[in-house]
């Protein structure tokens, strides 16, 4: 075996390789962005509609609650209304099976509706059908505010993947601040839901119709608006002299 030669005195030593990022952080960020359901167009822009699950995904998030509201309004009976909502959620799962599409979103919807139905049936209060959504909303707010505080804003993890920035944006304070602002916008959307809907929930049966209606309006439509605004405010500054690219017809004009 040949021993490595000793460097001569005064010879320049090779520069040490830069320390790698924390193990798997880039992969974790990419995986998180993929699981979050964000999609990009061919020209690298965010596809907001597809990120919301497309028309079918939006219907999956809206219809079970709408069916529950209509059924309860017509029958004034909790159990049939809960069964109707669960059936609507289950139908989407069957549709995805027939289409041979991923079941993740539909199954998550069934589980979510199932938990809501179980809670409302246990308490006997129709308004409790919407309580798990408040808890989920609050959990997202805590997670996002925490990500801002530790300078790992969630908007950066999501949009950085779509923009092919990876984790490079963390090396630039301006980009970190931009992604913190983008995350605050999404936090604002989630907080607005609670500000509007929790008082209606506390009204009990008298506020049920208004609660269900605002839940539909402030669901997917408000989410799409919040993500789009966050995308706009986190756009990197154009390089000096760079020619603006023409948006494709399918882009979101962001």
The pLDDT averaged over each successive group of 10 residues in the chain (254 residues) is 46 42 52 56 60 70 86 89 90 81 71 90 93 93 96 91 85 94 95 95 92 87 87 76 46 42
pLDDT for res 28? 55
CA-based angle 14:16:22, to the nearest 5?
Answer: 160
pLDDT for res 247? 43
pLDDT for res 224? 83
pLDDT for res 15? 42
Torsion, CA 138, CA 49, CA 82, CA 117, rounded to 10: -30
pLDDT for res 54? 67
Round to whole Å and give the CA distance between 225 and 208: 25
Which residue blocks in the chain are alpha helix, DSSP H? 25-35, 48-51, 54-75, 78-99, 104-123, 131-149, 154-162, 173-202, 208-217, 220-233
Q: Does residue 46 sit in helix, strand or coil? A: strand
Torsion, CA 246, CA 249, CA 253, CA 254, rounded to 10: -80
Round to whole Å and give the CA distance between 64 and 50: 20
Burial of 85 (0-12, 13-18, 19+ CB in 10 A): buried
């Amino acid at each position: 075996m040949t021993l490595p030669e000793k460097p001569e005195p005064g010879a320049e030593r090779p520069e040490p390789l830069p320390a790698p990022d924390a193990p798997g952080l880039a992969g974790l960020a990419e995986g998180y962005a993929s699981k979050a359901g964000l999609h990009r167009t061919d020209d690298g822009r965010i596809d907001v509609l597809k990120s919301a699950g497309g028309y079918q995904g939006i219907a999956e998030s809206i219809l079970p609650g709408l069916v529950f509201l209509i059924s309860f309004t017509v029958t004034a009976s909790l159990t049939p209304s809960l069964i109707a909502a669960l059936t609507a959620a289950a139908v989407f799962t069957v549709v995805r099976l027939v289409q041979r599409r991923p079941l993740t979103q539909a199954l998550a919807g069934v589980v979510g509706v199932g938990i809501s139905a179980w809670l409302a049936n246990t308490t006997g209060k129709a308004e409790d059908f919407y309580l798990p959504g408040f808890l989920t909303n609050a959990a997202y707010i805590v997670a996002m505010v925490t990500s801002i505080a530790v300078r790992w804003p969630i908007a950066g993890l999501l949009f950085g993947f779509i923009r092919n920035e990876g984790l490079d944006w963390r090396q630039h304070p301006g980009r970190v601040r931009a992604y913190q602002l983008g995350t605050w916008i999404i936090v604002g959307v989630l907080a607005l839901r609670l500000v509007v809907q929790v008082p209606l929930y506390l009204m009990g049966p008298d506020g049920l119709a208004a609660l269900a209606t605002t839940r539909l309006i402030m669901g997917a439509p408000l989410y799409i608006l919040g993500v789009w605004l966050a995308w706009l405010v986190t756009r990197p500054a154009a390089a000096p002299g760079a020619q603006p690219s023409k948006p494709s017809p399918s882009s979101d004009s962001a």
